[in-house]
């Protein structure tokens, strides 16, 4: 574990023996995870991206597959890039010119109880086609972070202006060192996926079949449709939103805002 802030190191030293999970588990998203009966499990990433994004999706997929609890595999896309509808039991990855929405990228996960049942990632070419963001570093950071959210990971850091942590789960003004996961992310995944379930949500699962119909019928492109904000803000650079359908059914939206 590499921490740049001295107080974190002190905190680690003080609390490590007594409560190792306290710090190590600090960037899971409320424990949400894919249900599966064994590790490592394989999560399908549906390829709905154009050629310019293919290398970045491939990099992200192989980066995260270094985890010892999960592998990702790129499969034929199951949706149209512009609408980017979810497919149960997997993640659809899309790029398009979504317009001046304010966001560079979003990830959305559908959850039932503690379990993720489907997810999508969208990257917005309206911004990536501009000189500021049309770089491999920006594309890698955003792709890596949004796909990371679909595993149940949250950000490691939410301050845009402090030094980069060396992980794509940190949004920063300098994307160069933040294009890939770091050891702390893999550690976090190990913790999230340390238990096994008696069933899986990695296919067309019962959980998705029981989903309220409204959960699949909303166009989730704009903040007005994301529900209440539960973390961060547009001004801060990243935010997380929760849309609650009742009965433990929720859609979370993780947003990276353009600056």
Q: Which residues bind Zn ion (CB under 5 A)?
A: 35, 145, 197, 238, 254
Q: Which two tokens stand for residue 90?
A: 């997997």
CB within 8 Å of 140: residues ≥ 6 apart: 56, 59, 60, 168, 175, 179, 180
> Which residues lie below 8 Å from residue 20, measured CB to CB, with a gap of 6+?
none
Yes or no: say if 174 and 162 are a contact pair by the CB < 8 Å rule. Answer: no
In angstroms, the CA 115 to CA 111 distance is: 5
Six-digit token string for 222 = 């704009």
- Is the Cα torsion angle 129, 130, 133, 134 positive or negative in sign? positive
d(CA 211, CA 126): 32
Whole-angstrom distance, CA of residue 163 vs CA of residue 195: 34
Joined tokens for residue 29: 């998203």
């Amino acid at each position: 574990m590499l921490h740049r802030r001295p107080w974190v190191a002190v905190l680690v030293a003080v609390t490590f023996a007594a409560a190792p999970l306290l710090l190590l588990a600090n960037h899971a998203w409320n424990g949400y995870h894919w249900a599966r009966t064994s590790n490592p499990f394989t999560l399908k990433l549906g390829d709905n991206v154009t050629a310019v994004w293919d290398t970045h999706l491939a990099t992200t997929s192989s980066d995260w597959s270094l985890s010892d609890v999960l592998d990702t595999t790129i499969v034929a896309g199951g949706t149209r890039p512009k609408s980017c509808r979810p497919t149960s039991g997997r993640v659809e990855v899309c790029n398009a010119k979504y317009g001046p929405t304010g966001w560079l990228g979003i990830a959305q996960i559908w959850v039932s109880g503690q379990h993720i049942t489907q997810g999508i990632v969208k990257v917005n070419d309206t911004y990536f086609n501009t000189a500021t963001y049309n770089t491999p570093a920006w594309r890698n950071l955003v792709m890596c972070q949004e796909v990371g959210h679909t595993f149940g990971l949250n950000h490691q850091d939410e301050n845009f202006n402090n030094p980069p942590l060396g992980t794509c789960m940190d949004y920063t003004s300098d994307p160069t060192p933040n294009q890939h996961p770091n050891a702390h992310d893999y550690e976090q995944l190990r913790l999230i996926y340390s238990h096994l379930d008696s069933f899986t949500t990695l296919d067309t699962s019962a959980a998705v079949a029981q989903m309220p119909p409204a959960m699949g019928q909303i166009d989730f492109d704009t903040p007005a449709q994301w529900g209440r904000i539960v973390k961060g803000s547009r001004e801060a650079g990243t935010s997380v939103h929760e849309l609650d359908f009742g009965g433990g059914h929720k859609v979370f939206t993780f947003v990276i805002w353009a600056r």
